[in-house]
Amino acid sequence: MVLLVPIQEKTLSNRTDAESQVIAEAIAAFQFMINNQKREERDLAGLAAMTIPCITMSGTRPTFYLVPVTPELSTAVIGGVYPATETKVLKCVTVVAHTRRVSVGMEDTEYRKLALKRLLRFRTLAKKHWNLFLEGL
Quick: pLDDT tens for 107-128.
Answer: 888 888 999 999 999 999 998 8
How does pLDDT run across 72-106, given as a tens digit for each residue?
Answer: 999 999 999 999 999 999 999 888 776 666 667 78
Give which of 51, 47, 53 is closest to 68, Cα–Cα.
51
Please determine, for residue 32, whether its predicted confidence score (pLDDT) is greater than 90.
no
Residue 54: strand pairing partners: 5, 65
Residue positions counted in the chain:
137
pTM for the model = 0.79
Place 16 in a pLDDT band, splitting at 50, 70 and 90.
Answer: low
Where is pLDDT greater, at 132 or 117?
A: 117
Residues ≥6 apart with Cβ < 8 Å to 97: none
Contacts 24+ apart (CB under 8 A), 99-108: 102/61, 103/59, 104/61, 105/59, 105/60, 105/61, 106/60, 106/61, 107/60
